[in-house]
Amino acid sequence: MADTMQFDLVSPERSLASVPVREVRLPGNDGDLTAMPGHAPAIVTLRPGMVVLVGADGTTREFAVTGGFAEINADSISLLAERGHPREEITQEVFNDMMKDAQRVHRNATERREHVGEEVVTAAVKLMGDMQALGTHIGLDPNQSTVPD
């Protein structure tokens, strides 16, 4: 069996990465998972978090992604994320922007609680929590972003 698989990370606006990898660690909605060559085909939704690629030579690359899903096959992984940034590109400013999105979703959900149902509100609260955890993980302050009007 081949010891690497093709990994593609695409956002709606551009393709962010297309490299061979030995393993990929994904922040799945139901818990983290690692995909290696020969993985059973699966489609997994992701929570906001860090995706870690381990390249053929053992070097790692990290990407922060929000809102997406991964299509895993035995020899390839396609990750479709609404937003994705290489870790080194994430500054406080970028993060604030990402945080703002989560806050907007959260506010919309809570304001229209009776319309959308408890489930959506719970999901929004979880989203906020995940975003904050992501910020802390990178070492950025999750409380700098102001709630948008």
Partner 1 sequence: MPSLKDLKNRIGSVKNTRKITKAMQMVAAAKLRRAQEAAEAARPYADRMAAVMAGLTANAAGQSGAPRLLAGTGADQRHLLVVMTAERGLAGGFNSSIVKLARQHAERLRGQGKDVAILTVGKKGREQLKRDYGSLFVHHVDLSEVKRVGYDNARAITDEVLARFDAGDFDVATIFYNRFESVISQIPTAKQVIPAEVPEDAAPVNSLYEYEPGEEELLADLLPRSVATQVFAALLENAASEQGARMSAMDNATRNAGDMIDRLTTEYNRSRQAAITKELIEIISGAEAL
Residues that bind partner 1 (CB under 8 A): 8, 10-15, 28-30, 40-45, 67, 69, 71, 78, 80, 82, 108, 112, 115-116
Q: Considering Cα of 69, then 75, then 76, then 77, what sign does the dihedral take?
A: positive
CB of 72 to partner 1, least distance (A): 8
Cβ proximity to partner 1, 30 vs 149, nearer residue: 30
- Min separation Cβ 139 and partner 1, Å: 26
- CB of 19 or CB of 42, closer to partner 1: 42
Q: What are phi and psi of 15, to 5 degrees?
A: -90, 130
Nearer to partner 1, 112 or 137 (CB): 112
The number of helices, as runs of H, and strands, as runs of E, in the chain is 3, 7
Query: What are the Cα distances from residue 73, in Å, to 43, 46, 51, 124, 127?
Result: 9, 16, 17, 30, 27
